[in-house]
Amino acid sequence: MDNIITLTSFDLKRFWTIKRLIIMGIFALITIAVSFIPSSLNIPKSSTQVNFDVILASGLSFVVPVLVLLFTGGIISNDIRTFYYRTILSRPVSKEEYLCSKYLFSFINLFLGTILFAIVPSFIGITSLPVEINFNFGTSLLVYLLYLLEGVLFISISMSLSTILKGSFNIFVLIIWIFLETTLINGLLSNFVSFSKPLAIFSDFFFPAGFSEAAKLLNTSSVLLFESILWGFAALTFWFALSFYQITKIKIDANMD
Amino acid sequence: MEQNSLKIFKISSILFVISFLIASILFFIPKAGNLSQTDYYVAIQKAQKSNSPILITLYSKWDRKQKISNQILFTDKNLLEQINKRLITVILNLDDDKDKQLIDQFGLKPAYSLLCDKNGKPITYIPNGTSSTEYSIFLNEALKLPFFSWDNLEQAINQSKQNNKNIVIFTTSNLNANLSLAELLKAPANLQYIDINFNPVLFNLQYKPDFAQARQILGFDDNILNIHGQGPSNNSPINAFQSDQLIKATIISPNKTVIAQGTFDEELFQNGNMQGFIEKILTKEVNRVK
């Protein structure tokens, strides 16, 4: 465990250079400033009821994939290319400790990023809107946890891809995948999938989105909610297992170039 | 050291298999929200008795996105109350061959629900989505359309014999044209003029029975039938709402003789004066006879 913490702190120090901290700080300030805009527009008071968890879910559905794309580009392949992987593993550090530290590093970034770019702006935005707010702490917390799990799933996908692809190509593949899900599956095919069983199943399982689907279903407390969580969990364990399998296959002196 | 990685791999793989198997079993449990289900033909009988519109939605056990949408929308208490109070609901199963014929006939798509009048004629569509508030707003607005209270041709003829008013048939090329017509009728003066002077009937050319009746009344070579009357089997109501719209008003006597007819023009859409348009086509017909 000590090794994992030490490696994670190394990674955090390596990643969070002053330049990056300033850029992210500016982005965070812009996001928070934008969330104040509704209050400055003098919108007349409306009787519409807005659920905080719905606003939070829509924010997280955008922020979580973006954060994972930002923090996990070439997460393993770049270490191999720069011989950092060889340097680390030539010390008394195991491959699973190395991989766990990568997971921890990505999760910390994801956790802090979601607070800064999703929770705080959602809270400011919703309190500055002239609408009635329904705040349910339990539901909001569950929505957040489900999106965090979705984030960990994306991290494990990105990590697995990074063990087989050069440079930041893992991110490129993930972007194409998300793009196809948004445009092809949710856009073009959405009207036709039900008319063909193979197409419907292809559309259902094209992209692992069980946790985010479960977040949408939280208020319905149905079998479908439980099923969605299980699909999410199945996808998470699959990619998690794959990343650990792949790491055993990478030789210490491997060179991805 | 690598043995630990493999151990984690094995544990994760076992968890994957277990969750995948349970999820696969749950996948086949039928779920479509809490909407009450009525057979389509029974629904028409019920709707005619209670004078209620019919809401048609789709269900398929293979399409998770649609199941999720149905679950979110049709478990919302307020929305369900609103639907149960005002509508007769039909859930058509895409996996059922009998239902598939109806789905093809209506050209229904999973992303939409279809709102029909008491006779089963498609009036408008409602995008399903995953927000019950949005769906409820769309539904409320859709139910304000005047067509739900209009009779079909046979009923209008009977009515006409009793109240000595002629029948005005609005023939629309697609569902979007229905909305354009409704927009014109939104002006209270227009709707009032129609209600006072005529027995109004809507012919939606994308609905098979209406298409057949329109051919009888308007003639086989009528312009609107030639342009937009390919029939419901080729041109579904949902597809067709994107194409050009055409609306025609035909005034007929109770014995189905055409008195006057005219296609809605740019001028009518700009000034919104329905009375002026109807009087114009009536005068034109009088002049033509003279």
Which residue in chain B has the smallest CA separation from A100?
B5
Question: Is A224 in contact with B67 (Cβ distance < 8 A)?
Answer: yes
Question: Is A224 in contact with B68 (Cβ distance < 8 A)?
Answer: yes
- CA of B60 to nearest chain A CA: how many angstroms apart? 6
Phi first, then psi: give them for residue A135, nearest 5 degrees.
Answer: -110, 115
Residue of A224, A227, A244 lying closest to B8 (CB–CB): A244
> What gap in Å lies between CA B262 and CA A61, rounded to an integer?
51
- CA of A215 to nearest chain B CA: how many angstroms apart? 11
For the record, the structure tokens of B166 come out as 């002629």
- HSE-CB for A71 with a 13 A CA cutoff: 31
Res A241 pLDDT > 90: yes
Residue B107 Ramachandran class (φ > 0 left, ψ -120 to 50 alpha, else beta): left
pLDDT digits (tens, 9 = 90+) for B104-159: 777 787 788 999 998 888 899 898 887 888 899 999 999 999 999 888 888 889 98
Which residue in chain B has the smallest CA separation from A194?
B63
Instruction: Return the beta strands (E) in chain B as ranges.
Output: 54-59, 88-93, 112-116, 122-127, 166-172, 198-204, 247-252, 258-263
Which residue in chain B has the smallest CA separation from A198?
B62
Pick from B164, B163, B184: nearest CA to B247: B184
pLDDT digits (tens, 9 = 90+) for B159-208: 888 888 899 999 988 888 888 899 989 888 888 999 899 999 999 888 88
| Residue spans of alpha helices (H) in B170-273 | 175-185, 188-197, 208-218, 223-228, 237-240, 266-271
Interchain CB contact of B20 with A (< 8 Å): yes
Interchain CB contact of B149 with A (< 8 Å): no
Res B11 pLDDT > 60: yes
Question: Is B110 in contact with A240 (Cβ distance < 8 A)?
Answer: no
Contacts of B135 in chain A (CB under 8 A): none
pLDDT score, position B238: 52
Higher-confidence residue of B246 and B225: namely B246
DSSP state string for B119-155: TS-EEEEEE--S-HHHHHHHHHHHTT-GGGG---HHH
Residue of A95, A191, A224 lying closest to B110 (CB–CB): A191
Res B34 pLDDT > 50: yes
Residue of A195, A217, A240 lying closest to B94 (CB–CB): A195
pLDDT score, position A69: 93
pLDDT digits (tens, 9 = 90+) for A16-60: 999 999 998 999 899 888 888 877 777 766 666 778 888 899 899
> What gap in Å lies between CA B110 and CA B73, rounded to an integer?
13
Assign A134 a pLDDT band (cuts: 50, 70, 90): confident
- pTM here is 0.81
Amino acid at A117: F
CB contacts < 8 A, A to B, total 118
Contacts of B75 in chain A (CB under 8 A): 219-220, 222
Q: What is the ipTM of this complex?
A: 0.84
Contacts of B31 in chain A (CB under 8 A): 222-224
Percent of chain B having pLDDT more than 90? Answer: 22
Q: If you average pLDDT over residues B85-109, what whole number do you get?
A: 85
Assign B100 a pLDDT band (cuts: 50, 70, 90): confident
pLDDT digits (tens, 9 = 90+) for B249-261: 999 988 888 888 8
pLDDT score, position B1: 46
Question: Is B5 in contact with A241 (Cβ distance < 8 A)?
Answer: no
